Amino acid sequence: MADTLIQNAGLVLTMDEMRRAVPSGDVLMRDGRIVAVGRDLPAAGCTVVNAEGCLVTPGLVNTHHHLYQTMTRAVPAGQDAALFGWLQVLYPTWAAMRPDDFFVSAQVGMAELLLSGCTTTSDHLYLYPNGTRLEDTIHAAQEIGMRFHPTRGAMSIGESSGGLPPDDLVEREADILEDMIRVIDGFHDPRPGSMCRVGVAPCSPFSVSRELMRDAALLARDKGVMMHTHLAENDEDIAYSLEKFGMRPGQYAEDLGWTGPDVWHAHCVKLDAEEIALFSRTQTGVAHCPCSNCRLASGIAPVRAMRDARVPVGLGVDGSASNDAGNLMAEARQTLLLQRLAYGAGAMSPGEALEIATLGGAQVLGREDCGSLAPGKCADVVIWDMGDVSAAGNWDPAAILLAGPTVARDVFVNGKQVVSQGRITTLDQRALARQQNQQMRALQERV
Ligand SMILES: [Zn+2]
């Protein structure tokens, strides 16, 4: 494959160790890696992409999602509920979904993320109705061309045992652990530049047992994969933890082996100062999901305090039934707005929010090879067109989160162009949307 040269960008924001910003910059890519970032790089033999008037950034990294939920967006009965009530509205519908629904909904979620400049996404799939398997989503990622961190989620405590989900959506714990091993052995690629890394992810303290939390952690460490779950999402969540376990979520996590640089927790809206210190000491990661937290009125996560304590923080769009969009660039803007609302106008700069969306997410997912534009890093690169009305009159292109597009012009994943001129190149995105709407109507008939 010929080298690709992104040429003469208005500005290249590298997010490298020096946080270099290169005016009139070029980015050279070869065999899925960045070769050079600089000015006037030689173009001979390269496929040249003209980036005049554009901002170039590393690809964004999404650290929390439930891709299957793109099938159930804006469901009327769940539009105005808080977390537990919202889940109870949607569980029966999710139980009626089939493997091809999981495939198509994953692809829709990924298409939406790619268009927003996101090149790597994790997914937390914690229910497997009607023969669904994790690879239904892995195949979706391979086809569309996205770097993917699927996690084998699980629920094991149904309503009859005091849990939140209905009994027909939970699995036996022995079966869960066995399937975790199967998908790790079958699909996890630990090598640098990997396009697929599998993690283990019991759904939440209110839907699995302590034993499964502990066993999943032991399994993950034995296999050398990462661990993910939901933690301290809202006040109901904290109350459940205090009532059922007699302790706060941070201590629960620590007791069961759920802290460390190989662990990341979604939300963490309600972490207190002691828990932030615990996460800092253990380098436990956080997936901050600001739009979902607003949508479900969960609260404002203390991201400023986490960052000051050097807790690794990345961003997540969260499931598409609680956002209900999947635009990671919009999450970055929402992050800075919420931190300012909570802590003052100087609490977070546009540059820091973009850093959390790129480098921060890569750190949370254990990807030293992603999140920045520097020689040897994965060629995950986004070109933002600053020549249209959304950025017109912008004095500082680096502050794209204040005034600029939230849909990318061009996106490269592993050196391959998957978005061109704002359209997915690897599939017909309108046909994909039609397909999903057709399957959504069939799902409505079944429930
Ligand atoms: Zn979630």
Confidence of residue 267 (pLDDT cuts 50, 70, 90): very high
Phi, psi of 70 (to 5 degrees): -60, -20
For ligand 1, the distance from its centroid to the CA atom of residue 70, given in whole angstroms, is 13
For ligand 1, the distance from its centroid to the CA atom of residue 248, given in whole angstroms, is 19
Distance between CA atoms of residues 171 and 55, nearest Å: 47
Distance between CA atoms of residues 53 and 31, nearest Å: 26
Is residue 384 scored above 80 in pLDDT? yes
For ligand 1, the distance from its centroid to the CA atom of residue 48, given in whole angstroms, is 40
pLDDT tens string 203-241: 988 889 999 999 999 999 999 999 999 999 999 999 999
Is residue 321 scored above 80 in pLDDT? no
Is residue 444 scored above 80 in pLDDT? yes
For ligand 1, the distance from its centroid to the CA atom of residue 160, given in whole angstroms, is 23
Q: What percent of the chain has pLDDT over 70?
A: 100
The answer to whether 65 and 97 have CB atoms below 8 angstroms apart is no
Is residue 320 scored above 80 in pLDDT? no
For ligand 1, the distance from its centroid to the CA atom of residue 356, given in whole angstroms, is 18
pLDDT tens string 283-307: 999 999 999 999 999 999 999 999 9
Amino acid at 261: P
Q: What is the pLDDT of residue 274?
A: 98
CA 398 to chain centre: 23
Which residues, including other chains, have CB under 8 Å from residue 200's CB and lie 6 or more apart?
151, 152, 180, 184, 216, 219, 220, 225, 226, 227, 228
From residue 386, alpha-carbon distances to 9, 355, 383, 406 in Å are 10, 19, 9, 11
Coil vs helix vs strand at 414: coil
pLDDT tens string 12-38: 999 999 999 999 999 999 999 999 999
Q: What is the pLDDT of residue 429?
A: 97
The answer to whether 364 and 264 have CB atoms below 8 angstroms apart is yes
The answer to whether 34 and 51 have CB atoms below 8 angstroms apart is no
Residue 156 gets the label, from left (phi > 0), alpha (psi -120 to 50) or beta, of alpha
From residue 260, alpha-carbon distances to 217, 276, 287, 382 in Å are 11, 13, 14, 31
Tokens 């010929």 belong to residue: 2
pLDDT tens string 128-186: 999 999 999 999 999 999 999 999 999 999 999 988 889 999 999 999 999 999 999 99
Q: What is the pLDDT of residue 81?
A: 83
For ligand 1, the distance from its centroid to the CA atom of residue 82, given in whole angstroms, is 13
Q: What is the pLDDT of residue 84?
A: 82
Mean confidence (pLDDT) of the chain: 96
Q: What is the pLDDT of residue 358?
A: 98
Is residue 310 scored above 90 in pLDDT? yes
**E-state strands within 173-322:** 199-202, 226-231, 263-267, 285-288, 313-315
Q: What percent of the chain has pLDDT over 90?
A: 92
For ligand 1, the distance from its centroid to the CA atom of residue 231, given in whole angstroms, is 9
Which residues, including other chains, have CB under 8 Å from residue 186's CB and lie 6 or more apart?
135
For ligand 1, the distance from its centroid to the CA atom of residue 391, given in whole angstroms, is 32
Coil vs helix vs strand at 24: strand
Q: What is the pLDDT of residue 323?
A: 85
Q: What is the pLDDT of residue 137?
A: 98
Tokens representing 37? 């970032």
Q: What is the pLDDT of residue 341?
A: 97
pLDDT tens string 69-117: 999 999 998 888 888 888 888 999 999 999 999 999 999 999 999 999 9
For ligand 1, the distance from its centroid to the CA atom of residue 64, given in whole angstroms, is 6
